[in-house]
Structures are given as C-alpha cells and as structure tokens.
Amino acid sequence: MRILGIDPGCVVTGYGIIEEAQGRIAHLDNGGIFPPAKAAFSDRICFIHDQIEVLIAKFSPEAVVIENIFVAKNVQSTLKLGHARGAAMVAASRAGRPIFEYTALQVKQAVTGYGHASKEQIQKMVQALLKLPGAAFTDASDALAVALCHANSYRMMRKVKAG
C-alpha cells in the first residue's frame, strides 16, 4: 500500500510518501509545500491544494493520511491550520483517495512508543525506521510519521479482520 502522509500548515505543508508491502516499509519521497509568503491567504490555500493534487497524480497513493488538528492557544492559527487541512482533504477526495486522520498523540505513540515525544525524537525514529541517510526536516518528518502510523494501524486492522 502506498501512503501519502501530510502535516498541514499554511507556511509549510510537509509531505511524506511510503510504501508498505509484505510487512516492509520503503521510503519513496518527502518534502515540503511552500506557498508564496507574500501571496493572499486564499492563494496560499489554493497553492497547497494544487501541490497535493500534483503529488497524488505523481505517486498514486492508495491512502492519504493527515494529522488531526489540536486546539492551539491561538485561535487564528488553529483556523488557518484548518484551512490547510481542508485544502489537502479536498485534493485527496477529488482524486478518490480515502482519507485517514490521526492525532499527534497517536502518531507519536506509533512511531516512538511515547505519546509525548519531542520533534527531535520523531525525526530520529523516522530516520531509523525508514533507513534515511539523514533526518528529514521537521514538517516532512512529521508527515512521514503520520504515514508510518497509518501503515502500522492498517496492518493491525488487516490482522484483526483476518483473525
């Protein structure tokens, strides 16, 4: 199963693509979507949407996984994050891809075994699990972690259904 993980953001939207086959997970790509900083907010959201569409067309993921929103102290930041998530979700939905969501706690537990792991711990575990030559930048590591979380969850769901 090919999985596109997304860590949404208005300044940077991280993405990571992995493939799980026969219990093995391979890293395919990761990076960031950087909307033009001086563009109008609506144009930045459109840019995120369009770039997610490009990634879906290029990699044909069977699942799109997005980190769920947590309520931040700044309500405006939370609302803007919601717009970025929505742009990614619309792109995935239009492409007919199923969308899965996991909380930060679920992702951290799946990747590090500890629900309050730091960003650095996530980066190091993602690097180790995917055998990357170096740590991906934070947003891409978070997106890869979301994808790994889904790969593990999906594998468990298949075992439960089979058993």
Give the chain's domains with CATH numbers: 2-162 (3.30.420.10)
Active-site residue, selected from the candidate residues 53, 101, 139, 142:
139
Based on the residue annotation, tell me whether 7 is a catalytic residue of this protein.
yes
pTM, to two decimals: 0.93
Active-site residue, selected from the candidate residues 7, 29, 50, 142:
7
Is there a contact between 128 and 89 (Cβ–Cβ < 8 Å)? no
Based on the residue annotation, tell me whether 62 is a catalytic residue of this protein.
no
Q: What is d(CA 85, CA 68) in angstroms, rounded to the nearest whole number? A: 8
Active-site residue, selected from the candidate residues 50, 53, 62, 67:
67
Q: Would you give the distance in Å from CA 123 to the centre of its chain?
A: 13
Per-residue pLDDT of 20-76, as tens digits, reads 998 899 999 999 999 999 999 999 999 999 999 999 999 999 999 999 876 667 788
Instruction: Reduce the DSSP state of residue 100 to 3 states and report it.
Output: strand
Q: What is d(CA 123, CA 129) in angstroms, rounded to the nearest whole number? A: 10
Is there a contact between 19 and 2 (Cβ–Cβ < 8 Å)? yes
